[in-house]
Structure 1
Amino acid sequence: MRDEAPRAVTAICRALQEQLEHGLLGPGSQLPAERKLSELFSTTRITLREALGQLEAQGLIYREERRGWFVSPPRLAYNPLVRSHFHAMVGEQGRVPATEVLAARLLPASAEICALLELPACSSALQIRRARRIDGRLVLYVEHYLNPQYFPGLLDFDLTLSLTDLYASQYGIRYGRVRFDMLPTALPVEAAAALKVAVGSPALRITRINRDQHGRLIDCDIEYWRHDALRVSVEVPE
């Protein structure tokens, strides 16, 4: 009896993977409701959810709170060595980008942000919180922290646009040296709420610390990507 549940999970995974491989369930399409899938496979909701969870861990399907399960679209190729920005990167791969500003304000910099931007204690930082979509799907929550010394009046601009372009056009600032840190993690509360998924869902956290063309530390980004939305692809030149 103890072997029946694992066998059922394996059978459900294989059946759904076959549907995916043959295109019967296309990218972005919604799976039948859990109740219907339980009836289809003659199993319990607990066993079904274990199977769906395994497929989610593989990046094949994803769940949206209060909406159900969907087939994951192709992952976005992300090359940290290429100087680009979100809208350009997504558009170049034939996808449709969109950005929503969740909040933008001047606030006291946390100890972490002071360390990342090498600010003295009790400093202020500009914080911009944004949610980003690819083909209508929420995939990225990002917090930008800027040294306000270099960006007076920035909050008056349209912050749904590329900050890279805004820096260049309004402040004559271009990115120079960049440092990346990437860490598989679980979504914290604010990121999960922005992406409309459960707290603790798997994610890739990318911290990017940016210097300008003069070597000054100007900003840092803390990004939370849905784990099935991205693949990091790097080609190192000779």
Structure 2
Amino acid sequence: MVRPKMTPKPQKIAPVLRLSPQPMYAQIKEELRRRILEGTYQPHQQLPSESELIEAFNVSRITVRQALGDLQSESLIFKIHGKGTFVSKPKAFQELGQLEGFGEAMGRHGHETYNRLISVRTQKATRQVAERLGLATGSAVTEIRRVRLLNREPISLDVSYFEKSIGEQLKRADLAQRDIFSILENQMALPLGQAELRIEAILADESLAELLKVEEGSPVLKMERLTFTQDGRPVDYEFLYYRGDAFQYRLRIDRQSQPQS
């Protein structure tokens, strides 16, 4: 279990401008969120006390508690009774409502991403890989293994399979800096259309734990994804293994209207 960091009290926060049309609690929340995301307050570092925030912002205790309550509901902070309020280790997230690459999704939220290329090799397709890509079993396919880094920390292992002709072109691309989706669409003129997804929870084995820098047996989100071009051709079959302590998927679903009984 990670122990909270009992760090020296940070410098006073600049007062929030009352000219803003936002309520004071919302301004305080946004200021604290900004400092958390920018790293002024590090994960597991203690935030200023309620009394210090009241003094810094010249507001009531109920206003400060409302701001902190909102941050806690967003999982940006956590409280320990008798000790204070601390910064949570943030979880990156990706929406499942649209098809996009990891770098695209993380870049939109201001995260730094990088790919560590583990291997690129040509091999014979297993029956599962061949079926998913619409090939004959034993056909030559390209396997690409990469560790995805988020803010310089490993967050996932991606194992991707392509028919050999596509794989040969990907070998020559910048697989460290670019999303494969971007390469397929912009460099190879293969516009993507949709994907089939399967998600399950697994435990990290020794090899996966080493690559993701977690303990063996730690929870991992495993995604199996088959991506198609706009004309329905299967083009990218992959297995994505995400650290359970640092990543989450989000999906909004609507209830369909039910017939009156």
Tell me if TM exceeds 0.5.
Answer: yes
Please report how far the alpha carbon of residue 205 of structure 1 lies from its aligned counterpart in structure 2 after TM superposition. 0.1
Select the residue among 134, 140, 161 that pairs with 2:150. 134
1:177 paired with 2:218, answer no
Select the residue among 205, 209, 215 that pairs with 1:198. 215
- Per the alignment, residue 123 of structure 2 pairs with 107
1:220 paired with 2:237, answer yes
Q: Between Structure 1 and Structure 2, how many residues are aligned?
A: 184
Contact 1:187 1:224 in 2 (8 A): no
Question: Are residues 198 and 235 of structure 1, via their aligned partners in 2, closer, same or farther at CA, if it must alter by over 3 Å?
Answer: same
Deviation string 1:73-99 (CA, Å, 9 cap, x unpaired) is 311122122232111211211221111
Q: 2:124, 2:188 → 1: CA distance?
A: 23
Q: 1:26, 1:151 → 2: CA distance?
A: 41
Contact 1:101 1:159 in 2 (8 A): yes
Q: 1:18, 1:97 → 2: CA distance?
A: 27
- Tell me which amino acid in the other structure corresponds to 1:226: R
Higher relative contact order (CA 8 A, sep 6+): 1
Q: 2:3, 2:166 → 1: CA distance?
A: 52
Q: 2:158, 2:88 → 1: CA distance?
A: 21
Q: 1:138, 1:126 → 2: CA distance?
A: 23
Structure 2 counterpart SS, 1:94: coil
User: Percent of pairs identical after alignment?
Assistant: 22
In our comparison, the structure showing a higher alpha carbon Rg is 2
The TM-score normalised by the length of structure 1 is 0.67
Q: 2:171, 2:44 → 1: CA distance?
A: 35
Deviation string 1:114-155 (CA, Å, 9 cap, x unpaired) is 232232111121111000111111111110111224454321
Contact 2:103 2:179 in 1 (8 A): yes
- Per the alignment, residue 105 of structure 2 pairs with 89
Q: CA RMSD in A?
A: 3.1
Contact 1:139 1:225 in 2 (8 A): yes
- Per the alignment, residue 165 of structure 1 pairs with 182
Question: Are residues 17 and 154 of structure 1, via their aligned partners in 2, closer, same or farther at CA, if it must alter by over 3 Å?
Answer: closer
Q: 1:147, 1:194 → 2: CA distance?
A: 26
Question: Are residues 28 and 209 of structure 1, via their aligned partners in 2, closer, same or farther at CA, if it must alter by over 3 Å?
Answer: farther
Q: Which moved more, 1:122-131 or 1:154-163?
A: 154-163
Please report how far the alpha carbon of residue 102 of structure 1 lies from its aligned counterpart in structure 2 after TM superposition. 0.7
Please report how far the alpha carbon of residue 230 of structure 1 lies from its aligned counterpart in structure 2 after TM superposition. 1.6
Question: Are residues 110 and 200 of structure 1, via their aligned partners in 2, closer, same or farther at CA, if it must alter by over 3 Å?
Answer: farther
Contact 2:4 2:44 in 1 (8 A): no
Gaps in structure 1 of 5+ consecutive residues? 1-12, 30-59, 61-70
The TM-score normalised by the length of structure 2 is 0.62
Contact 1:72 1:228 in 2 (8 A): no
1:4-153 equivalences under 5 Å are: 16=3, 26-27=42-43, 73-153=89-169
Q: 1:179, 1:224 → 2: CA distance?
A: 16
Q: 2:154, 2:44 → 1: CA distance?
A: 12
